[in-house]
Amino acid sequence: MSTVSSHVLDAVTGRPAGGVHLTLLRREGDGVFAVVHSGRTDEDGRVADWRTEPGLHRLRFDTGDWFADRGINTFYPEVEIAFRVAGGHHHVPLLLSPFAYSTYRGS
């Protein structure tokens, strides 16, 4: 069994983005992506140790709703990151602003 975690940071304020809804999906044998986990980041902007099987995954962040709750218009209503889980732990951070985002494989 593998695990996936994430940390979302608001790059404008330099603070954690608590309350961002995100969904972890895994590609099934028929090629369709199925929801594995869904939840919100905690006050520190984190989701920790969601269990999953190896394979192709997508992590979807509902950024539009998060920004809208703060009265901010954003160009990206959602961010979806595709990555391959090969066993062990995978950390997928997201640095977020209304008109840009970046990600990398964390540790």
Structural contact between residues 35 and 42, judged by C-beta atoms closer than 8 angstroms: no
Tokens of 20: 């961002």
Helix (H) or strand (E) holding 64: helix 63-68
Q: Are strands 2-10 and 21-27 parallel, antiparallel or unpaired?
A: unpaired
Residue 91 is labelled as binding a ligand: no
Residue 57 is labelled as binding a ligand: no
Structural contact between residues 19 and 69, judged by C-beta atoms closer than 8 angstroms: yes
Which letter does DSSP use for residue 45 in this model? S
Residue 37 is labelled as binding a ligand: no
Tokens of 52: 């999953």
Which amino acids are annotated as binding site for substrate, given as ranges?
7, 46, 104
Which amino acids are annotated as binding site, given as ranges?
7, 46, 104
